[in-house]
Amino acid sequence: MATAKTECSELSVGFGLLGYDKPLEVSFKQVHPKFDNTLNEEKFNTFVNTYPSDIMFASMNNVGIRLRSNYKSFRNLNLVRWTGGDRQAATTSTAKDLLGANIPISVKAESRVVGNPSPYNLFVATPQGSAQAQGMTSWYLETAPQAYQEFYAFARKLTGLDTGMNTTPEAVVEFELSRRKKPLIRAIKNLGEHYPQEFQELYIRMCQKVSQSSAEIFENYLSKSLKSRIRGAVLERIAKMFFRMNAVEYVLCGIDGKNEFAVLIPDLTTWLQTWQFEDIKAIPNLEKEQSVVDFEILCTNKTTKHAYLAKFHAEIRWSHGKFSSVEGKLYKEFNWSDLPFFSVIPL
Partner DNA sequence: AGTTCGGCACTGATAATGTA
Partner DNA sequence: TACATTATCAGTGCCGAACT
Nearer to DNA, 9 or 225 (CB): 9
Among the candidate windows 129-137, 148-156, 270-278, 299-307, which touches DNA by CB under 7 A? 129-137
**According to CB under 7 A, which residues from 272 to 291 bind DNA?**
288-290
104-123 footprint of DNA as x/- string (CB under 7 A)? --xxxxxxxx-xxxx-xx--
Of 294 and 301, CB closest to DNA? 294
Quote the least distance from Cβ 105 to DNA, whole Å. Answer: 11
Return the residue of 301, 324, 338, 347 that touches DNA, per CB under 7 A. Answer: 324
Q: Does 247 contact DNA by CB under 7 A?
A: no
Q: Closest by alpha carbon to 218, among 303, 115, 293?
A: 293
Residues 32-91 that bind DNA (CB under 7 A): 87-88, 90
Stretch that binds DNA, among 14-22, 69-77, 261-269, 314-322 (CB under 7 A): 314-322
* Per-residue H/E/C for the chain: CCCHHHHHHHHHHHHHHCCCCCHHHCCHHHHCHHHCCCCCHHHHHHHHHHHHHCCHHHHHHHHHHHHHHHCHHHCCCCCEEECCCCCCCCCCCCCCCEEECCEEEEEEECCCEEECCCHHHHHHHHHHCCCCCCCCCCHHHHHCHHHHHHHHHHHHHHCCCCCCCCCCCCCHHHHHHCCCCHHHHHHHHHCCCCCCHHHHHHHHHHHHHHHHHHHHHHHHHHHHHHCCCCHHHHHHHHHHHHHCCECCCEEEEEEECCEEEEEEECEHHHHHHHEEEEEEEEEEECCCCCEEEEEEEEEEECCCCCEEEEEEEEEEEEECECCCCEEEEEEECCCHHHCCCCEECCC
Instruction: Tell me the number of residues near DNA by CB under 7 A.
Output: 56
Region near DNA per CB under 7 A, out of 11-19, 144-152, 220-228, 320-328: 320-328
Only one of the segments 150-158, 259-267, 316-324, 339-347 lies at the binding site for DNA (rule: CB under 7 A); that segment is: 316-324
Of the two residues 24 and 113, which places its CB atom closer to DNA in the complex? 113
Nearer to DNA, 157 or 186 (CB): 186
Interface pattern 130-169 for DNA (x via CB under 7 A): --xxxxx-x-------------------------------
Positions touching DNA (CB under 7 A) are: 1-3, 5-6, 9, 87-88, 90, 93, 95, 97, 106-113, 115-118, 120-121, 132-136, 138, 176, 178-182, 185, 189, 258, 288-290, 292, 315, 317-321, 324-327, 329
